[in-house]
Structure 1
């Protein structure tokens, strides 16, 4: 080997990038005056792509592998100037390495609430948050659009931009979607995939692929959540009138157990309140039309409204009525009806109420009696006598509109006649 051959071998380069960080997207390989020697070895490892830039233009893109750089391998860099020593001259080029692995666990969320119109709740404001993952799928596009001459391009330089793109597209998508708000939680995975596909075109414009978009939560304002919690609590308690009466009676009982702290005026007021509640309940049961709203709700095509626990609820589809605890006595209304009616009076709702088969002919009628403040039953007629049935005892059985005194029920006349009258008073 001659002197010049030995001297020329000193210019052989090894061009590679070993990344010890987990947040670097692009790195520019540093060389003095960007001179890369002829015959240099380029090593591109798995999960990397190398982009050559010559005189401000992208010359070539190298996938994982080892390459020897020469004019044959880089035909686009063809005009090379001779070096004054006579060796193969170096060429000036910049090498950008791109990390093509998947960058995970980046957060996204709504900076401000999104206002949408829900089919059940009407206009509501909601917030959403989750995380996303991305990777570089077009290094040349990313270099032109965002990296430019940045020698060290990291995830924090692009994460805000990607998050804003996600939020803009998510807000537009969720505003057009017709999924009821109460059903969104069961569709988080499918919704995230739909939004990801819708956003992908925007990401591709900067050379990025959105590999995953997860929705962790979609929430309502605190005041709306509290109102929904109250509505759920009312549904769990059932009859609010009976619950209020029970709570009031418990309070009176506790007050009576503390003689030194009793307040006659307060107890009287509470007793009157109970009486008023009982009267209101009886009036509502006898004439529910008086408690209904005077003005029907605004029409909603094909939607139903119901009136329960002194509240107007809706609109609901016909399939959602059963989920709201619809009974044959529930008052309902929809566009086209003149007034509220019981659900059992609406022919198109009759299929929601299963028809109970009539009792067998041989089945003995079951009776109930109200004795000493307690409801006792079911009982047959013989058991009624054993329980101390009198003419003034209130009884009830299937087919009766309400409780009646035993003396008013023809079927019980034989039982009452067999009971001897009370002894005469001694003078």
Structure 2
């Protein structure tokens, strides 16, 4: 904001910063009285106060001649000029942003705790996103919130709204109880419902919500650890199905293979048992053809459950039956 401290012929909001929402441009009575024009750019509004009370709100862009215009607020301004010759803290002019206020960030300040409906263990969820608003009742917000503050910024508004919308968002997510496995597919629905749950907060303060988005969610490390363990088990079950053995046998082979990797006599002995067990599993009566057996044997090798030597030996044995 660039304010010329000398008496000037034009009162305007010079070089407005997009982060500035309400700005008091002057309270110098003589400066206002001697000005000839008030300029209001597109996307700007103006509030005039006298002795702490709002006298007019201007919302239409244009160049207003303070000497000759007969518009109601100009007439009121002229009347105020005639009341007294005083230059300190009598008359004030605030400009405000009418244009859309975009990229307002929101997020849950503390994790939301509930029980996952699919996995049945406690989880903690955090969510974050952004929204856009515009002021539709500037007078209400000015009187109830600005209250004479000379500068009210984008950051001030974000913090103000966040303190009021956090609870409705938290209540909604806690009651919705989205599972870890389904929440990513529900982001649009969450955004819509969150907007509906918080709309009253914005409306009561004189704002209209233009857009409300959820950008992502985040779960606590303990939840991620549990999900990781479940995923590993599911992957192993699938691997066992592909390899043509049941999960119990797969786990037994893995345990034996891990033990066989240990140094010393115990490791050698366990390696022998692993080979015996592998022989038993692969020689169990099966209905699969040679091609299927070879494929399953290759799966065991790829999973590092058998050595290259064991793979070659069993492969030869299977092919010998051709």
TM-score by length of 2: 0.68
Contact 1:12–1:37 (8 Å) recurs in 2: no
Q: 1:242 aligns with which of 249, 263, 267?
A: 249
Task: Name the structure 2 match of 1:139.
Answer: 138
Contact 1:245–1:274 (8 Å) recurs in 2: no
Question: 1:345-400: CA deviations, max 9, x gaps?
Answer: xxxxxxxxxxxxxxxxxxxxxxxxx86x7857549xxxxxxxxxxxxxxxxxxxxx
Q: 1:253 to 1:149 in 2, by over 3 A?
A: closer
State the secondary structure of the residue aligned to 1:182: coil
Task: Name the structure 2 match of 1:222.
Answer: 221
Task: Name the structure 2 match of 1:121.
Answer: 119
1 CA distance for matches of 2:65 and 2:206? 27
Q: Which has the higher helix share?
A: 2
The answer on 1:210 being equivalent to 2:209 is yes
Residue 251 of structure 1, CA deviation: 5.0
Task: Name the structure 2 match of 1:67.
Answer: 64
State the aligned residue count. 267
1 CA distance for matches of 2:84 and 2:253? 105
Task: Name the structure 2 match of 1:100.
Answer: 98
Task: Name the structure 2 match of 1:17.
Answer: 13
2 CA distance for matches of 1:14 and 1:173? 50
Contact 1:13–1:37 (8 Å) recurs in 2: no
2 CA distance for matches of 1:64 and 1:207? 20
Question: 1:307-357: CA deviations, max 9, x gaps?
Answer: xxxxxxxxxxxxxxxxxxxxxxxxxxxxxxxxxxxxxxxxxxxxxxxxxxx
Task: Name the structure 2 match of 1:290.
Answer: none
State the secondary structure of the residue aligned to 1:157: helix
Residue 144 of structure 1, CA deviation: 0.8
Residue 23 of structure 1, CA deviation: 0.8
Q: 1:234 to 1:82 in 2, by over 3 A?
A: closer
2 CA distance for matches of 1:118 and 1:144? 45
Residue 269 of structure 1, CA deviation: 5.8
1 CA distance for matches of 2:84 and 2:202? 48
TM-score by length of 1: 0.53
Which stretches in structure 1 are left out of the alignment for 5+ residues? 1-10, 86-91, 256-260, 282-369, 380-427
Considering only aligned residues, what root-mean-square deviation do their CA atoms show, in Å? 3.8
Contact 1:248–1:274 (8 Å) recurs in 2: no
Q: 1:274 to 1:159 in 2, by over 3 A?
A: farther
Question: 1:32-74: CA deviations, max 9, x gaps?
Answer: 2365338832221111111122232222222212223356533
Q: Which has the higher contact order (CA 8 A, sep 6+)?
A: 2
Q: 1:177 to 1:252 in 2, by over 3 A?
A: closer
State the secondary structure of the residue aligned to 1:36: helix
1 CA distance for matches of 2:132 and 2:82? 48
Residue 81 of structure 1, CA deviation: 6.8
Matches within 5 A, 1:160-171: 160-171=159-170
Higher-Rg member (1/2): 1
Q: 2:110 aligns with which of 109, 112, 119?
A: 112
2 CA distance for matches of 1:79 and 1:251? 93
Which stretches in structure 2 are left out of the alignment for 5+ residues? 1-6, 241-246, 291-322
2 CA distance for matches of 1:204 and 1:251? 64
